[in-house]
Amino acid sequence: MSEQETQTSSQMAQMKPYLIAAGVLFVILLVAFFWPSSSEPETIVSQPVAVEIEPEQSAFNDESLNNLNSADAGQRNVPEPDVFEGTPEIQSLELEANDETPPPPSMEIEPEPLDESDGAVKSALLAIAESPLVAKYLVDEGLLQKFVINVNNIANEEMSPNHSLLTKPDSSFRIYQQADREWIDAASFKRYNSYVDALESMSTDDLLSLLDTYRPIIEEKYAEISMPNSSFDTTLLDAINELLDTPVVPLPIEVYSDSVMYKYRDDKLENLSGPQKQLLRTGPENTRRIKDILRDLKDALQDR
């Protein structure tokens, strides 16, 4: 059975109770209008009988003819009875091939607008993080805007001191002196251990999924600060590569003070970009862990 015939059969099945009810009502109306009531006398109608008359019996006298005419006249004056014709046949409902009942309009539910507030973004990050430290270290304002600015600046080998995504460590940078020379204290590196722990608690797939969720907003904010015809994905990969190019430096690391801030004694290290020098300050072990995370993220982006 074709789909059209199936639909027609289904429609007829649905209409069957209504057709039966209509037929019953129609029969009741016929009975009410045409069936004689019990108060009216019944009229018996005698049918005329044809009689063959022999030739020798064909003569009538005037009196017989007059009586016959009178009888005929009496019969002609008898009123014709109402004839009950019965119940007309109920016509079946036929559906034309092109008269298909249109399906009900589909209810399209419009998706709710994406909540780009800082509270929503932070809650989304906390939902994919296994470490509660993410809530402690992540700032509360301008998260998407600061993320875009940091990615763009790192790709351009620049720092974003006024747009940091993370709060500062509780303890300060420390050095120690030996033989009239200054070295970075290993305790300074440990300040960043819990930051890296928090970062490692979020999987690469979850981070990329979150990136896709907020991509329209990120692309919009990136277009406000980037060069024309530039791609955010390309800029993100450039920023990752910039950090991956940071060299691994063995301990101890010598520094010196120029009365304002500490600088690396080794010119090769001092000539590194701002983002690379900042990564060095987390220490060799944390640098290695951060690079592992960045490589996984880079591989996942390139595979898409």
| Cα 66 to Cα 117: distance, rounded to the nearest angstrom | 117
| 73: CB partners within 8 A, 6+ apart | none
Tokens of 116: 């780009």
| Lowest mean pLDDT segment, chosen from 33-37, 48-52, 152-156, 188-192 | 33-37
Radius of gyration of the CA atoms of the chain, in A: 51
| Cα 1 to Cα 17: distance, rounded to the nearest angstrom | 24
Question: Each residue of 19-40: pLDDT tens digit?
Answer: 333 333 333 333 333 333 333 3
CB atoms < 10 A from the CB of 27, how many? 13
Check: CB of residue 279 under 8 Å from CB of residue 248.
no
pLDDT band at residue 258 using 50, 70 and 90 as cut-offs: confident
| Cα 273 to Cα 211: distance, rounded to the nearest angstrom | 26
| Cα 196 to Cα 230: distance, rounded to the nearest angstrom | 30
Task: Indicate whether 138 pLDDT > 90.
Answer: yes
Question: Each residue of 79-102: pLDDT tens digit?
Answer: 555 554 555 555 555 555 555 666
pLDDT band at residue 200 using 50, 70 and 90 as cut-offs: very high
Residue 30: the pLDDT is 33
Residue 18: the pLDDT is 38
Residue 105: the pLDDT is 63
Task: Indicate whether 134 pLDDT > 60.
Answer: yes
Task: Indicate whether 302 pLDDT > 80.
Answer: yes
User: Is this model's pTM higher than 0.85 or not?
Assistant: no
Task: Indicate whether 43 pLDDT > 90.
Answer: no
Q: Which helix (H) or strand (E) segment is 262 a member of?
A: strand 262-264
Q: Sign of torsion, CA 114 118 120 126? A: positive
Residue 114: the pLDDT is 84
Check: CB of residue 94 under 8 Å from CB of residue 11.
no
Task: Indicate whether 59 pLDDT > 70.
Answer: no
Nearest to 91 by CA among 23, 18, 24: 23
Helices (H), ranges, 39-142: 62-76, 118-128, 133-137
Tokens of 280: 């060095």
| Cα 88 to Cα 142: distance, rounded to the nearest angstrom | 82
In eight-state DSSP terms, residue 26 is: H
Residue 66: the pLDDT is 52
In eight-state DSSP terms, residue 166 is: B
Higher pLDDT, 229 or 43: 229
Q: How far is CA 301 from the centre of its chain?
A: 25
Domain limits, the chain: 1-33+71-96, 118-303
Residue 260: the pLDDT is 82
Residue 32: the pLDDT is 33
Q: Write the Ramachandran bin of 157: left for phi over 0, alpha for psi from -120 to 50, otherwise beta.
A: left
| Cα 163 to Cα 232: distance, rounded to the nearest angstrom | 18
pLDDT band at residue 48 using 50, 70 and 90 as cut-offs: very low
Higher pLDDT, 259 or 60: 259
Which of 54-63, 164-173, 236-245 is most confident? 236-245
| Cα 35 to Cα 87: distance, rounded to the nearest angstrom | 11
Q: Find the mean pLDDT for residues 61-81.
A: 50
Task: Indicate whether 41 pLDDT > 90.
Answer: no
β-bridge pairing 175-178 and 254-257: unpaired
pLDDT band at residue 220 using 50, 70 and 90 as cut-offs: very high
CB atoms < 10 A from the CB of 190, how many? 16
Helices (H), ranges, the chain: 3-34, 62-76, 118-128, 133-137, 143-155, 186-190, 193-200, 204-213, 215-225, 232-244, 267-270, 274-280, 284-303
Q: What is the mean pLDDT of the chain?
A: 77
CB atoms < 10 A from the CB of 128, how many? 15
CA atoms within 13 A on the CB side of 282: 22
Residue 94: the pLDDT is 56
Higher pLDDT, 61 or 23: 61
